[in-house]
């Protein structure tokens, strides 16, 4: 009987276990991706700071013959940092999460609808 409290409890427990089996490993992967992204951004920032120091040194010593190269390198490093900043740290595409949510939520919604409509039939 689908409306028996034990059946409802078992169904809810199984849905929680299924959700946890999907989310927990991906959450661990998310943390590792966040750490890797932060490390790469920190490396890019360190290089930008070093390049700024070189630029300041050239300005201070009035030797600006390599300023074009420094400008190109600075542009490349800023572009790299901006690209790294935009990388998602979630190990799925938004459509995957929507698909998972609909596969979990749709049966629940249908069960509630059929249970509600069953009262009138």
> Would you say residue 1 has pLDDT above 50?
no
> Would you say residue 108 has pLDDT above 80?
no
Contacts of 47 (CB under 8 A, 6+ apart): 77
- Residue-by-residue DSSP string for 56-88: HHHHHTT--TTHHHHHHHHHHHHHHHHHHHHS-
pTM attached to this predicted model: 0.66
| Domain map (residue ranges) of the chain | 5-91
pLDDT score, position 86 = 93
d(CA 108, CA 95): 20
Q: Running DSSP on this structure, what letter comes out for residue 8?
A: H
């Amino acid at each position: 009987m689908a409306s028996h409290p034990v059946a409802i409890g078992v169904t809810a427990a199984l849905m929680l276990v299924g959700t946890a089996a999907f989310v927990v490993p991906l959450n661990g992967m998310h943390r590792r991706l966040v750490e890797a992204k932060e490390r790469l951004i920190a490396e890019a920032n360190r290089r930008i700071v070093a390049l700024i120091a070189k630029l300041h040194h050239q300005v201070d010593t009035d030797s600006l013959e390599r300023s074009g190269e420094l400008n190109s390198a600075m542009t490349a490093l800023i572009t790299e940092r901006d690209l790294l900043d935009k990388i998602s740290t979630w190990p799925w595409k938004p459509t995957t999460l929507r698909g998972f949510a609909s596969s979990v939520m749709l049966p629940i919604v249908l069960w509630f609808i059929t249970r509600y409509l069953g009262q009138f039939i």
